[in-house]
Amino acid sequence: MYNPKSTKAEEFISDEEVLESLKYAEENKNNVELIDKILEKARLGKGLTHREAVVLLDCNIEEKNKEILALAEKIKKDYYGNRIVLFAPLYLSNYCVNGCVYCPYHAKNKHIPRRKLTQEEIKQEVIALQDMGHKRLAIESGEDPVNNPIEYILESIKTIYSIKHKNGAIRRVNVNIAATTVENYRKLHEAGIGTYILFQETYNKKSYEELHPTGPKHNYAYHTEAMDRAMQGGIDDVGLGVLYGLESYRYEFTALLMHAEHLEAVYGVGPHTISLPRIKKADDIDPDEFDNGIDDDTFAKIAACIRIAVPYTGMIISTRESEKCRERMLHLGVSQISGGSKTSVGGYFNPMPEKEESAQFDVSDRRSLDEVVKWLMELGYLPSFCTACYGSGRTGDRFMEICKHQQIHNFCHPNAIMTLKEYLEDYASPETRAVGEKLIEKEVQTLENPDIKSVVEKDLVKIHAGERDFKF
């Protein structure tokens, strides 16, 4: 029985409701009247239900599809302006006891080198990341209660926050670790994490169990209810995502939005972010062995429909995707990207020789952070290293309220300008700096509030003189 308010996985992600929604979408994919009605609602910028959104996803009318993509671009601009937040993943350990068939860290892979960073090695990684200019990390680790217990993760977070190298600092640590207990989520919350990210991989229970044949991750309900436990443990920013390619994208899309509706219904706050990963080649993984791969056009349509359905949720795309694909997704709704990423343990400071590489997946976009920043600016985007909302307690429902009222411009835009200025002063190449200084001049002129504008102008002078960490 479908019940978004239930905290039981099989009730808030009811298979029956997903299938009925897919049937409804199939029946209405050419229903102009209904599609127009949904688009009219979507234009209000308050989001859509999963059923409405999947009708748009399935829509088969070329002219309407153009409208859908254009609306996604408009909503993106209204809610996020031209800002793009930057981050990097930091792999702590690839020890893992699970048997996920799409991931090279699965326990049966005996030839991939296993590695777990010591606190000293974490320090070296963080200094390397700070020297690139990063302020925001997502830590990643396999599931292994012996090698990677919660105490190790907590100690690592403490180490990361403690490192102040030159003008560098990691100001927000997002955490992507296996589903755990309320008690452990509470510990993560107390350690000051930003977003807790956990990919569902697939919402289809049968496929989920087949794709996770062994290990604690096999338990569908425990994994699917993880965000509930995270919220109960005090974490109010959670990040969802599925791994496209494992199951039918229509099923995943619908269930993902049902998950978002569930979090909103029970905890009053939807997901902070939704990530968009597609299955990629890696050590002993061949994406062609999975039947549900999606092409770039479908991927773009998914991004657009998510943007329209949950306008206030950040969307993330990683370096798994190529420069070309990332550019398209930025227009349609993505608000955060990684840059200069290494997806192996120790990859920033002390990478292993290529033949002993321990990467979780192949990176498509191999450009440096400096190149990514310059590229974004040349496309008209404003790269942001801001972490101010987190530092000022604007998380969970407080953040969502600001976002829903499109007030985020008053905070995020000036903060993006100031953090970009810091980046240009401390880390950018001369070419990137030249592009950035021009952009900052232009962006300051777009600040409508004269008080905010005047503060930003003064703070930019102070940043040039060496002061750091200004924020609204």
Least Cα distance to 277 among 287, 269, 263, 267 occurs for: 287
Residue among 14, 28, 82, 98 that touches ligand SF4 (CB under 6 A)? 98
CB atoms closer than 10 angstroms to residue 202: 26
Cα separation, 115 vs 128, in Å, equals: 18
Contact region with ligand SF4 (CB under 6 A), list: 6-14, 27-35, 92-100, 336-344:
92-100
H/E element, 418: helix 408-426
Phi-psi region of 102 (alpha: psi -120 to 50; beta: other; left: phi over 0): alpha
Radius of gyration of the chain (CA): 21
Q: Per-residue DSSP letters for 251-288?
A: HHHHHHHHHHHHHHHHHS---SEEE--B---BTTB-GG
Count of residues in contact with ligand SF4, rule CB under 6 A:
10
Say whether residue 283 binds ligand SF4 (CB under 6 A).
no
Cα separation, 223 vs 363, in Å, equals: 26
Q: How far is the CB of 195 from ligand SF4 (least distance, A)?
A: 17
Residue among 12, 105, 253, 299 that touches ligand SF4 (CB under 6 A)? 105
Reported as half-sphere exposure (CB side, CA atoms, 13 A), residue 192 has a value of 20
Residue among 96, 255, 300, 417 that touches ligand SF4 (CB under 6 A)? 96
Q: How far is the CB of 122 from ligand SF4 (least distance, A)?
A: 18
Residue among 50, 83, 106, 116 that touches ligand SF4 (CB under 6 A)? 106
Phi-psi region of 234 (alpha: psi -120 to 50; beta: other; left: phi over 0): left
Cα separation, 74 vs 6, in Å, equals: 34
Q: How far is the CB of 58 from ligand SF4 (least distance, A)?
A: 29
Residue among 53, 103, 112, 255 that touches ligand SF4 (CB under 6 A)? 103
Residues 170-199 touching ligand SF4, rule: CB under 6 A, are 178
Angle between helices 32-43 and 62-80 (to 10 degrees): 10
Q: How far is the CB of 217 from ligand SF4 (least distance, A)?
A: 5
Residues 128-167 touching ligand SF4, rule: CB under 6 A, are 142-143
Cβ nearer to ligand SF4, comparing 91 with 427: 91
Contact region with ligand SF4 (CB under 6 A), list: 93-101, 185-193, 413-421, 453-461:
93-101
Contact region with ligand SF4 (CB under 6 A), list: 101-109, 227-235, 318-326, 373-381:
101-109
By residue count, the chain amounts to 472
Tell the residue number behind the tokens 């120790």, with chain if given. 346
Contact region with ligand SF4 (CB under 6 A), list: 43-51, 82-90, 96-104, 124-132:
96-104
Q: How far is the CB of 107 from ligand SF4 (least distance, A)?
A: 7
Say whether residue 22 binds ligand SF4 (CB under 6 A).
no
Per-residue binding letters, 198-227, with ligand SF4 (x by CB under 6 A):
-------------------x----------
Instruction: From residue 59, give the alpha-carbon distance in Å to each of 50, 51, 162, 299, 386.
Output: 14, 12, 50, 14, 37
Cα separation, 190 vs 197, in Å, equals: 16
Q: How far is the CB of 100 from ligand SF4 (least distance, A)?
A: 3
Residue among 38, 100, 329, 400 that touches ligand SF4 (CB under 6 A)? 100
Residues 415-454 touching ligand SF4, rule: CB under 6 A, are none
Q: Are 94 and 345 in contact (CB under 8 A)?
A: yes
Cα separation, 426 vs 133, in Å, equals: 7
Hey, is 282 helix, strand or coil?
strand
Say whether residue 314 binds ligand SF4 (CB under 6 A).
no
The residues of the shown chain that bind ligand SF4, judged by CB under 6 A, are 96, 98, 100, 103, 105-106, 142-143, 178, 217
